[in-house]
Structure 1
Amino acid sequence: MMDLSLKKLFFLVVVGTMSCIFCYGFFSTEPVLKIIRDRVSLTWSAVSSTEKTGEPAPVIKNQDAAQKGQEHKQDTQPGMLSQANEKPNHGPNAKLQDNPPKVVTTLTAKDKPSTPAKPKPKTTKASTASPRTTKAKTTKAATTTNSKNKPKTTANTIQKVLPVLVTPTLVPPMNKNDFKKMPEWDFEDIYLREPQPRQTTCPESIMASEDPEFKKAFVPDIQIFMQKEHFSRSEWNRLVHFNNPFGFMGGNYTQVKEAIELIPKLKDYQLLPVPKTDPQGCIRCAVVGNGGILNGSRKGEEIDSHDYVFRMNGAVIKGYEDDVGKKTSVYIHTAHSLTTSLYLFKKAGFDSIPHDEGIKYVMIPEGMRDFQWLTGLLRNTSVAFGPYRNRRPWKEYAGQFDINRFYVLHPDFLRYVKNRFMKSKQLEGPHWHIFRPTNGAFTLFLALHVCDVVDAYGFITEDHNKYPNYYCEKAKTRVIFYINHDYNLEIKTWKKLHDTKILKLYQRKDEPQQHQKP
């Protein structure tokens, strides 16, 4: 029995030795060694890239959006995009995701924006919901160095180092001309969330809507306003992937940073206080557009009966009080709409924007000229750069500018409105980068997020050809459809929101009798 066991043991030793020799001979062949070296090298390169920038590499979902010759490999997973009830954490204490979405390629190459980005191998995973921290998972293969003096580095040690917060390098500038249609990134539908979302006790509130489509799209705690705490290198690197006004693509980092860091922290996250006179705690708002449907409507008294009234652009009031009311609680504008309206509607008596006592001004930052305007406005100095150079912005607010009553819409809110409610087919064409919803559309969706009950007046309807372009025009004029807006989509959207009782849209049924300014 003993001799048999020794023979069996000897046989096993011999077989094991021969197996080792065979394996060594097989794996020492050049092709196999090359595969191993390449795999280890690619793993280390991917980890180094993530470690260097401190940012997850972006994934472009619609790879056909890239210009010819520019490759963007795609690797998506179910659940990669945020859902309506998700709350991604973008703060400085953001936690790493347990199952971060895959990252396959990056557009942050050292080359110029027009240089095609080369796809990288599928080796890392990174979190897109928390751009400030990145957790990269590597293969189990250990990487070693040939030098005896250098410490041995393994995948495990690399993984421990990566979560450490580092100051990320800036993503190289992106250009809208690099894409033949709107690019959709894997974090396209992920937004900052309001730390103190509005609460309501109103039984009629929009938030109580049971319409399934609206409930799926509506995010009650979306970050509406921008503050200085929202700007960082990580946030710049995230938002630079989106064209204005939905992000900072093509923007000047220094000028944008300077402007945003002047925006003070909000003292009150709720734009409009609940009226003490309403026993149910409802905030009732009227949003007044400038459409010709209001000419001769006699809706002024009804408009003014609301708790708050929103207006935008060339909100001519003097002489048209019977049709449009005279109260303004919130005025929404861009630098362009403000300055241009004062010129275009001067003959109609629009010599200053609304300046009611205690009025709140909300700005849409649609491009670099708005950030340049903001810097001059918030510093109380002349504009230093751009088309408004040497202008003194605060003079345009008719003595009612108060930094505590001035708000700037966040690019995430603007992109959310576009993605969830105003996804135009124009985004699929070569002019995708000039499309955006109208100022009136942004105003209406702002009201839907800060009010309980919303009534819309002066917005475009199916029978718009019956009315002049603007209510302040004396003669019948044709409604102009500008190429940077999708008016047909807005017509359908307002009608749908009205039919589902999300808001009440003024739709005139009588034959219009044009009101002449006295």
Structure 2
Amino acid sequence: MALQRRLVLGLVAVGSLLAVYILCVNLEKPGSWSVAPLRHFHGFSSSSSSSGSGDSEDPRERWTPPPPITTTSPPELGGPESRSESRSESRSESRSESDGLDGTRTPTRGPTVQLQQEPTRAPGPTEPPFIGDNYRSVEDPPQTDCHNGIRTHVTETEFGGRFLKHIPVLQSARDVSPEQHRRLSRYPGTHGWGALDYDTLQDTLSVLNSSANWRMLDDWEQRSSGSECSSCAVVGNGGILKDSGKGPEIDGHHYVFRTNGAILKGFEQDVGSRTTHYTFSTNTMMNSMRSYGGAGYRGPPQSEETRYVFLPDHDRDYLLMKAAATRTVVQSGKERGKDPTKYFGEDVSAEKLKMYHPDFIRYIRNRFLRSHTLNTKYKNIYRPSTGAAMLLAALHSCDQVSAYGFMTPDYKNYSDHYYDNKYHPVGFFINHDLRMEMNLWQQLHKAGLINLYMHQRTEDETGHESQIGPGQGDRL
């Protein structure tokens, strides 16, 4: 009996050891609970191809995560934010070598838990993927021979570390490739091509195939009149311009930039009469025609020297631009059947059309107007205002910039627009951070990079002698 008991105990012990071994082997295999790598959740895209952010759109949008998209990174740019983004993208690429052109992944082996572990990060700030502080760089020769312009002076200011001299301000046919489309499809709205299919992009930008399309000051040789430096007046529509008498001064610049509901007739003495560059999105232009028609706005300014600079918020902008360049009606979308000559005149041609590069809009958002809104649920509809995009584009294109009609700290003293019949307070919307923009204009003015028009109050108005900020009246 004793022998039998020992045999039974031995068999039980061997069985227990075998069960433990089998359990350990099973635990080493990946199970159905494995979590997908985090790279599958890069950013968000709109649930509709027409979503985005216009000057007065309803910000209550619904967003859904996009499928994973493989990207190719441009050369690393300066600054800690750019280096952090570059490291993040390179890690994503190293795990996605077998990704297909459509952004889907063809696995070469089964997933393992080890793939979920991120490499150790170097010390320093990190960025969420939707920020995308990494941009294309272009090496176009300078258009002027100015030796004392903004591009020279900016290195001596607090903006030197964030100002990129080779950022593409405008996009054109030379920017279209499957690789660039995959890279920029990560970003929605005006910051990328997230809601734009490749065929529409290629079909549209193919008509922007001359240097006039990727150069902001495309006629400088004919306009310079021997001057080494280009001067640009950037004119907002703020009420501060009413009774300013700044019209002749504005028209005296080489170039005059305007945006949205720019009403000139009857206000020439205060705002001038010339327009060389008109910035708009299709949405803001249509909104302006509806909202300011009673004040006299009939559409964009039209003249031989006027260029039309699209700020692409939706596919609507690409479709309208293509129709204008080819002198045909809009083929599809919300503006289907509309004649672009109604907005841009009978002499509109591809050479008069320009379109902001999504890298540039994302760059000015990230480095100049990094609002707290980016930390909220509205982060995907936030963008710089149309006027801010215009002013910062001039800062990157012109040698000297004077800004008129932009918001200043005493904005409550003026109506929203210079053409208002009665006082209207400035309107604020979640998709722009106008107070942050106002502070930026003050900083750029103080740094001597722009000459910002600010109302000079008299002693009778304020009870003490007025003071104008540093740089007022000075030009580079």
- Fold conserved (TM > 0.5)? yes
Q: Is the 8 A contact 2:138 2:166 kept in 1?
A: yes
Q: Greater CA radius of gyration, 1 or 2?
A: 1
Distance 2:234 2:424 in 1: 23
68 and 395 in structure 1: CA distance in 2 versus 1, 3 angstrom threshold: closer
Distance 1:248 1:85 in 2: 25
- CA shift, 1:333, in A, is 1.3
- CA shift, 1:256, in A, is 3.1
- CA shift, 1:321, in A, is 0.6
- CA shift, 1:350, in A, is 2.1
Q: Is the 8 A contact 1:312 1:439 kept in 2?
A: yes
Distance 1:463 1:187 in 2: 32
- CA shift, 1:100, in A, is 8.7
- CA shift, 1:110, in A, is 6.6
- CA shift, 1:123, in A, is 9.5
Q: Which amino acid aligns with 1:101?
A: S
269 and 384 in structure 1: CA distance in 2 versus 1, 3 angstrom threshold: closer
Q: Which of these residues, 149, 169, 192, is aligned with residue 247 of structure 1?
A: 192
Distance 1:437 1:68 in 2: 23
Equivalent position of 1:305 in the other structure: 252
Equivalent position of 1:230 in the other structure: 175
84 and 197 in structure 1: CA distance in 2 versus 1, 3 angstrom threshold: farther
Matching of residues 135-150 of structure 1 within 5 Å: none
Q: Which of these residues, 419, 429, 435, is aligned with residue 488 of structure 1?
A: 435
Equivalent position of 1:101 in the other structure: 90
Equivalent position of 1:466 in the other structure: 413
- Equivalent pairs counted in the alignment come to 386
The runs of 5 or more residues in structure 2 that have no matched partner are 1-20, 31-36, 45-62, 69-74, 107-112, 120-126, 462-476
State the secondary structure of the residue aligned to 1:213.
coil
State the secondary structure of the residue aligned to 1:311.
strand
- CA shift, 1:188, in A, is 1.4
Distance 1:348 1:61 in 2: 41
Q: What is the RMSD computed on CA atoms of the aligned residues?
A: 4.0
The farther-off stretch of 315-324 and 219-228 is 219-228
Matching of residues 387-402 of structure 1 within 5 Å: 387-402=334-349
Q: Is the 8 A contact 1:58 1:186 kept in 2?
A: no
Distance 1:234 1:196 in 2: 21
Distance 1:119 1:299 in 2: 66
Distance 2:135 2:310 in 1: 19
30 and 258 in structure 1: CA distance in 2 versus 1, 3 angstrom threshold: farther
Equivalent position of 1:429 in the other structure: 376
Q: Which amino acid aligns with 2:148?
A: E
CA shift digits 1:51-96 (9 cap, x unpaired): xxxxxx789599xxxx9999x9xxxxxxx963169999xxxxxxxx
State the secondary structure of the residue aligned to 2:348.
coil
Equivalent position of 1:507 in the other structure: 454
- CA shift, 1:187, in A, is 8.4
| Alignment partner of 1:83 is 2:78 | yes
Equivalent position of 1:379 in the other structure: 326
Distance 2:273 2:411 in 1: 24
- TM-score w.r.t. the length of structure 2 is 0.71
Q: Is the 8 A contact 1:312 1:331 kept in 2?
A: yes
Q: Which of these residues, 135, 144, 154, is aligned with residue 191 of structure 1?
A: 135
- CA shift, 1:233, in A, is 1.9
466 and 101 in structure 1: CA distance in 2 versus 1, 3 angstrom threshold: same
Equivalent position of 2:16 in the other structure: none
- CA shift, 1:352, in A, is 3.5
Q: Which of these residues, 130, 136, 147, is aligned with residue 203 of structure 1?
A: 147
State the secondary structure of the residue aligned to 2:161.
helix
Distance 1:211 1:229 in 2: 33
Matching of residues 35-54 of structure 1 within 5 Å: none
Tell me which of the two structures has the higher relative contact order, counting C-alpha pairs closer than 8 angstroms and 6 or more residues apart: 2
101 and 35 in structure 1: CA distance in 2 versus 1, 3 angstrom threshold: farther
353 and 424 in structure 1: CA distance in 2 versus 1, 3 angstrom threshold: same
State the secondary structure of the residue aligned to 1:407.
strand
Distance 1:98 1:492 in 2: 32
- CA shift, 1:388, in A, is 1.1
- CA shift, 1:386, in A, is 2.0
Distance 2:348 2:287 in 1: 19
Q: Which of these residues, 293, 302, 326, is aligned with residue 346 of structure 1?
A: 293
Distance 1:84 1:270 in 2: 26
- CA shift, 1:312, in A, is 0.8
CA shift digits 1:180-220 (9 cap, x unpaired): xxx83298122112231425432330011243431111111
CA shift digits 1:297-355 (9 cap, x unpaired): 11111111111111111110000011001111111111122222223222222223211
- CA shift, 1:396, in A, is 1.0
Q: Is the 8 A contact 1:300 1:322 kept in 2?
A: yes
- CA shift, 1:109, in A, is 5.0
Q: Is the 8 A contact 2:302 2:345 kept in 1?
A: yes
| Alignment partner of 1:334 is 2:281 | yes
Q: Which of these residues, 379, 391, 400, is aligned with residue 444 of structure 1?
A: 391
Equivalent position of 2:225 in the other structure: 277
Matching of residues 308-327 of structure 1 within 5 Å: 308-327=255-274
- CA shift, 1:225, in A, is 1.5
Q: Is the 8 A contact 2:157 2:447 kept in 1?
A: no
Q: Which of these residues, 194, 201, 217, is aligned with residue 256 of structure 1?
A: 201
480 and 293 in structure 1: CA distance in 2 versus 1, 3 angstrom threshold: same
CA shift digits 1:113-150 (9 cap, x unpaired): xxxxx9944699xxxxxxxxxxxxxxxxxxxxxxxxxx
Distance 2:247 2:451 in 1: 16
Distance 1:350 1:504 in 2: 27
CA shift digits 1:443-471 (9 cap, x unpaired): 00111111100000000111110001000
211 and 59 in structure 1: CA distance in 2 versus 1, 3 angstrom threshold: farther
Distance 1:321 1:196 in 2: 36
Equivalent position of 2:4 in the other structure: none
- Give me the identity figure in percent: 29
The farther-off stretch of 210-219 and 257-266 is 257-266
- CA shift, 1:435, in A, is 0.9
- TM-score w.r.t. the length of structure 1 is 0.66
Q: Is the 8 A contact 2:212 2:352 kept in 1?
A: no
- CA shift, 1:262, in A, is 3.2
229 and 431 in structure 1: CA distance in 2 versus 1, 3 angstrom threshold: same
Distance 1:61 1:482 in 2: 23
The farther-off stretch of 29-38 and 489-498 is 29-38
